Structure 1
Amino acid sequence: MPTTTAPATDTIGLWNLAAERPDLVAVVDPDGTEVTYGELAGKANAYARGLQALGLETGDAIVVLQPNGSELLAAYFAAIQSGLYVVMVNWHLVGPEVAYIIGDSGAKAFLAHERFTDVAVAAADEAGLAADGRFAVGAVPGFRDVAELAAAGGEGRPERRTAGSPMLYTSGTTGRSKGVRRPLTGADPDTVPAASTWFFGIFGLKPFDGHVHLCGSPLYHTAVLNFVAISIQLGHPAVLMDRWDPERMLALIERHRVTHSHMVPTQFRRLLALPEDVRERYDLSSLRNMIHGAAPCPHEVKRRMLDWWGPVVTEYYAATEGGGTAISGEEWLRKPGSVGRPWPGSTIKVLDDDGAELPPGEAGTVYMRMGDSSFEYHRDRAKTEKARVGNLFTLGDVGYLDEDGYLYLHDRKNDMIISGGVNIYPAEIENELVLHPKVADVAVFGVPHEDWGEEIKAVVQPAEGVEPSDRLTEELLEYARGRLARFKLPRSIDYTEALPRDPNGKLYKRKLRDPYWQGRERSI
């Protein structure tokens, strides 16, 4: 179990902790190896020196294609202390997609892992990345071992130290993904940004205090990386999983006395599917705040998790671009279905199509802002401007605020179905169908209809051992008739072995919907 005793002072930050308590555990790798603050900071220093020896200057970018582990975190902290932008790449992407990100970000170094050899080589070649900018953990043809990068720049901290930043690429569900590039602050990397301690404060997470973070999702996700990086900066050891497994997660919680984690509803459903005797086998009394977001959570699933874990389940709604809401488990029981009220300093407004603010209870497009922060989609001013109304921006979600300022979401505007002039929100239908015991996952969307414009289609991933059939379709439709108004009922159901979701639970619905619209144009 990681050592979590606080140092004699209130000092926080990777490099400060490495100096004062070098033997304090910072990371537990997926294979169980404990990595101390001294070891992690030392490797981050070595990589930063090596990158500067290559000629990288403040504002340059590196791309990282690696699985969860301390090697990835060392590369991240190397960039964060040397004024570089760091792009964590989704390792489900193929070579040309990674090549696009390397080229679009202007990356001058690429740190890959041998697990992704084929993609790494194809991407580096297509992007035309110089041979001296290619490094790998393990053996990758044409890439130098990262040990050579670490040995290139001498001893100690890098000569130039100034805060860098993640460069985040939003999901490419509507074409090429776009990088969100924030201006560098010029801050001292030894100083933990106030925004980090403030953000964790939203969830009641303070430095040390016996906290241990569990990471069960890939670190290329924005929120996942944020939670792990901030945890380490605040003295919370981060326990990393390589492949998420529900019972393995429960075992790690018990073994390491985990206090907080970042989760998605898909993981909740798989945890609840465990046999009751398995769920009762593990001691989860250490849990203080299990935080979830990224995808809508069916109400029944949320209630069952609260019944099991108690009011430690907290939900939030946020954007890579900035701003968001949060709601505790206790609040959610009073306001079921809400994603909460705005964070301190965050503004949430619901606007109509003309940009006018709507009153409580009336649905429109959700816009937000975080303080005076600004961002732009890298090399895409048109997308930046399209997402804005004044100093507010939107993710395209539709929802409403109640009289108490709590936000409720209906769906993404692009996913909304307009059938016979009536607005229908697929998430409401999905949240009912997914509760059927023969359904493992479901997506609902509109398909062309000559008279109505669109009709409702459901695509179902059957539960394990369940075969698609006309009888199953009728069973699911009969189930839906008892839970949904007639105009919300799917007119047909198709089946698939697995829905196109990423490991963080995000559904790429367009991949399912587009074939039905081939040769036609949706009005939304």
Structure 2
Amino acid sequence: MEKFEHIVRSAFDDFIPGPANKIALTPISTLARAARVFPTKAAVIDGNRCTTYAEMNRRCHQLADVLCKSGVGAGDVVSIMAPNVQAMIEAHFAVPMAGAVLNTINTRLDTNAVIAILHHAQARVFFVDEEFAAVANAVRSDSSLDILVIDIVEDDHTKGYEAFLAKGDPCGELPEIVDEDAAISLSYTSGTTGDPKGVVYSHRGAALNALGNALSMGFGPSSTYLWTLPLFHCNGWTHCWALAVVGGTQVCMRKTEPATVFNLIAKHSVTHLAAAPVVLSMLIHAPESDRRRFDHVVRIATGGAAPPSAVIKAMEDLGFSVTHLYGLTETYGPNLICEPQKEWANLPLSERARLMARQGVPHPLVGDVSVRNPDDMVPLPWDGLTIGEIMVRGNTTMKGYLKNPEATAKAFTGGWFRTGDLGVTHPDGYVEIKDRSKDIIISGGENVSSLEIEEVLYLHPDVMEAAVVARPDPKWGETPMAFITLKPNTVRPTPEALIVFCKERLAGYKTPKHFEFGDLPKTLTGKIQKNILRERVAELLNEENTVH
């Protein structure tokens, strides 16, 4: 028997992959297929400009060709700083076609931060939209940078980006992608310390993430996707490549404004979009004059904080179906999706919202996501109660941090990517975040989830945004403190009224006793900065101690 098994193994080992049965996985190959299958179909709509898949394929080939002729080679970095315009989508295909690495830069960064990124990445080319002319001029005048700066000038084909692209040969020979593990993109994340890290994605990871997103989001040939999510953020969650997989249409939007969102949805029969929670809030609170009604349901995916039931209800009333996602820059954007189950539709809103607010299950091509004890790496029971760290491993986890092996090794300790998020796994296999490890509040020895309290505060009719952090307490160690942004034209509720409201829905020890009202500080990608709120708590305590 042992001899037979050895012969079988050896026989199968005789097969060596070759060009006939193995080519490198890459998302850019999807564009050539789309141009072949859907040549006359709209690939990108940008204002009054509509580009077909055949035209898109030709333009990207031209841009890749002229990049190669300009000396860009394998592993070179090409940076771009632009809103959600057609050039940003084309760069996602053309730069990797040239064998280079695409670096999309956050459009909200200041000039010094942009220059620091260009230095760290050693970028060879910098495409920059005319909206950021001051940044372009500063880069040009920086003698320490050896970089070609090309302006993206809207509606002008005689100079800048369009003139540069026109120099390319649509039939020029491009380098073959032979290593699917080669870098395809570089995205910078500030993290929690303000120390930027360059997150590197591979062709393989990007291809599989795009396919996984197409499956989990229900993209198809009839899909029309509106770019409300910044394309600079995790390469637009790889959605630009995912839409090409199925031959869908992408609609550009230079600036996310409620009136524009509603108008474009109605005009182009948009079926999908993705956005941070702040965009949902913008749409919900948009004046009636900015809203447009449409005769179909639009699927909107949102990451970040779980959408409270009040937000889900308000979005559904506007004609949107909300899907909650979870992920990080290090996981190519979302890698968990709260996959809706058929039976949820018949549940009361409060129960349905509770299920929909969970972070969910891995999308089809992630690999594995597990809630584990961060100390001994033991997987924790699926009881919805035992809190551990959410960990990820698989095809759609970053290659690592550029030029930072120490940070890469720390992130991959124990053979998993350590997210730093604390959560539980429910008996049905759905993961739910309970807090960031640094955001959990320990009151009288009990763990208190700031997210749970925020969910309750969002139910209050006058609350538009809420964030909860720990406030040091001499008796309990820590108690929750709430920072609240009120809806326009509302009367500020008293702390006593808010305490009563919370106590009707929360255990007493979870109820905030301290409140502050005003705009919440946010990161450049729209996330609430709890580190600044914690600093504000320290200031308040210092003021109180000074008075006493």
Q: TM-score, normalised to structure 2's length? A: 0.80
- Look up the match of 2:529: 508
Contact persistence 2:199–2:400 (CA under 8 A): yes
Structure 2 CA distance for aligned equivalents of residues 54 and 432 of structure 1: 56
2:214 equivalent to 1:217? no
Counterpart for residue 454 of structure 1: 478
Partner secondary structure for residue 366 of structure 1: strand
C-alpha displacement at 1:137, in angstroms? Answer: 1.4
1:203-242 correspondence runs (5 A): 203-206=217-220, 208=221, 210-222=222-234, 224-242=236-254
Contact between 1:59 and 1:184, CA under 8 Å: does it hold in 2? no
- The Cα shift of 1:353 comes to 3.4
SS at structure 1 position matched to 2:519:
coil
Q: What is the CA–CA distance in structure 2 between the aligned matches of 1:222 and 1:266, rounded to whole Å?
A: 18
Identity %: 28
For residues 463-502 of structure 1, the C-alpha deviation after alignment (integer angstroms, 9 at most, x for no partner) is 223476xx64443333223222221222322233353154
Q: Which residue of 2 aligns with 1:342?
A: 362
Question: For the structure 1 residues 472 and 124, does the alpha-carbon distance in structure 2 shift closer, same or farther, using more than 3 Å as the test?
Answer: farther
Checking the alignment, whether the CA contact within 8 Å between 1:365 and 1:398 is kept in structure 2 is yes
Describe the SS at the equivalent of 2:107. Answer: coil
Q: Aligned with 1:440: secondary structure?
A: strand
SS at match of 1:415: coil
Contact 1:500 1:511 (8 Å CA) reproduced = no
Displacement of 1:400 after TM fit?
0.7
Q: Does 1:40 align with 2:56?
A: yes
Question: Aligned partners of 1:395, 1:271: CA distance in 2, in Å?
Answer: 30
Q: 1:18 touches 1:37 (CA, 8 Å); kept in 2? A: yes
Identify if the C-alpha distance between structure 1 residues 286 and 517 changes in structure 2 by more than 3 Å, giving closer, same or farther. Answer: closer
Q: Secondary structure at the match of 1:180?
A: strand
How far off is 1:16 after superposition?
A: 3.8
8 Å CA contact 2:61, 2:169 repeated in 1? no
- Between the aligned partners of 2:273 and 2:175, the Cα distance in structure 1 is 34
- Give the distance between the partners of 2:122 and 2:286, measured in 1 at CA: 45
Match of 1:25 among 42, 50, 73: 42
| Cα-to-partner distance string for 1:82-124 (whole Å, 9 max, x where unaligned) | 2211111111111121122112222111111121122333356
Q: Structure 2: which 5+ runs fail to align?
A: 1-27, 542-548
Distance in 2, matches of 1:342 and 1:14, equals: 26
Q: Which runs of structure 2 are paired with 1:260-275 in the superposition (5 Å)? A: 260-274=272-286
| CA distance in 2 between partners of 1:167 and 1:64 (Å) | 11
- Pair 1:319 & 2:315 matched: no
Deviations 1:14-41 (A, max 9, x none): 2344356543211111x33212223333
Q: Hey, what's the Cα distance between the residues in 1 that align with 2:198 and 2:296?
A: 40
Q: Deviations over 1:453-472 (max 9, x none)?
A: 4342222222223476xx64
User: How far apart are residue 74 of structure 1 and its match?
Assistant: 1.9
Please name the residue that 2:465 is paired with: 441
Specify which structure has the higher proportion of helix: 2
Between 218-227 and 509-518, the greater mean CA deviation after superposition: 509-518
C-alpha distance in structure 2 between counterparts of 1:432 and 1:409, whole Å: 16
> What SS class does the counterpart of residue 262 from structure 1 fall into?
strand
Residue from 133, 136, 149 that aligns with 1:134: 149
Cα-to-partner distance string for 1:132-152 (whole Å, 9 max, x where unaligned): 51111139xxxx823453255
* CA RMSD in angstroms, aligned pairs only: 3.2
Give the secondary-structure state (helix, strand or coil) at the position aligned to 2:400: coil
Query: How much has 1:257 moved relative to structure 2?
Result: 1.8
Note if 1:298 corresponds to 2:308: yes
* Correspondence for 2:215: 201
1:379 corresponds to: 403
Residue ranges of structure 1 left out of the alignment (5+ in a row): 1-10
The verdict on how the C-alpha distance between 1:421 and 1:123 changes in structure 2, with shifts beyond 3 A counting, is farther
Amino acid across the alignment from 1:28: I
Does 2:508 align with 1:486?
yes
CA distance in structure 1 between the aligned counterparts of 2:87 and 2:339, rounded to whole angstroms = 34
- Tell me by how many angstroms 1:236 deviates: 0.4
CA 1:32–1:510 in structure 2 vs 1: closer, same or farther (change >3 Å)? farther
Q: Provide the C-alpha distance between the structure 1 equivalents of 2:443 and 2:148, rounded to a whole number of angstroms.
A: 53
After alignment, is 357-366 or 222-231 more displaced?
A: 222-231
Q: Amino acid of the residue matched to residue 344 of structure 1?
A: P
Question: Match for 1:269: what amino acid?
Answer: S
Q: Could you tell me which residue of structure 1 aligns to residue 519 of structure 2?
A: 497
1:126 and 1:434 mapped to 2: Cα distance? 47
Q: For residues 267 and 101 of structure 2, what CA distance do their matches in structure 1 show? A: 36
Distance (whole Å) between structure 1 residues aligned to residue 468 and residue 287 of structure 2: 29
Return the offset for 1:433. Answer: 1.5
Q: Deviations over 1:162-203 (max 9, x none)?
A: 376121223433222211113456x9xxxx945533431123
Deviation of residue 240 (structure 1)? 1.7
Q: Which moved more, 1:432-441 or 1:231-240?
A: 432-441
Secondary structure of the residue aligned to 1:339 is coil
2:534 counterpart letter in structure 1: R
1:150 aligns with 2:172: no
d(CA) in 2 for partners of 1:368, 1:21: 36
Is the contact between residue 215 and residue 364 of structure 2 (CA under 8 Å) also seen in structure 1? no
Q: Which amino acid aligns with 1:56?
A: V
Alpha-carbon separation, structure 2, partners of 1:278 and 1:108: 43
For the Cα contact (< 8 Å) 1:100–1:127, is it kept in 2? Answer: no
- 2:200 maps to 181
Q: 1:44 to 1:472 in 2, by over 3 A?
A: farther
User: What SS does the aligned partner of 2:360 have?
Assistant: strand
Counterpart-to-counterpart distance in 2, 1:364 and 1:414: 13
Deviation for aligned residue 1:398 = 0.8
| Matched AA of 1:224 | G
Whether the 8 Å contact between 1:88 and 1:168 is mirrored in structure 2 is yes
Query: Contact (CA 8 Å) 2:228, 2:253: kept in 1 or not?
Result: yes
Q: What is the letter of the counterpart of residue 508 of structure 2?
A: R
Alignment of 1:416-427 (within 5 A): 416-427=440-451
Question: Could you report, residue by residue, the CA deviation over 1:20-65 in whole angstroms, capped at 9, with x for unpaired residues?
Answer: 6543211111x33212223333332232222222212111111111
Q: Does 1:84 align with 2:100?
A: yes
Q: How many matched pairs?
A: 490
Q: Distance in 2 between matches of 1:159 and 1:337?
A: 45
Give the deviation of 1:407 after TM superposition.
1.0
2:265 match = 253
Match of 1:7 in 2: none
Per the alignment, residue 68 of structure 2 pairs with 52
Q: CA separation of 1:82/1:173 partners in 2, compared to 1, >3 Å: closer, same or farther?
A: same
Q: Deviations over 1:297-355 (max 9, x none)?
A: 11332245456647x43322233333732223446656354222233352121112312
How far has the Cα of 1:375 moved from its partner? 1.9
CA contact (8 A) 2:115 2:139 kept: yes
User: Which residue of 2 is the match for residue 108 of structure 1?
Assistant: 124
Question: 1:391-437 CA deviation, whole Å, 9 max, x = no partner?
Answer: 21122111111222111111111211223433222111122213323
Contact 1:313/1:329 (<8 A) preserved: no
Taking a change above 3 Å as real, the CA distance of residues 474 and 259 of structure 1, as seen in their structure-2 partners, is same
Q: Residues 254-307 of structure 1, C-alpha deviation per residue, up to 9 Å, x if partnerless? A: 32122222233333333333578986x5124254x4322233211332245456
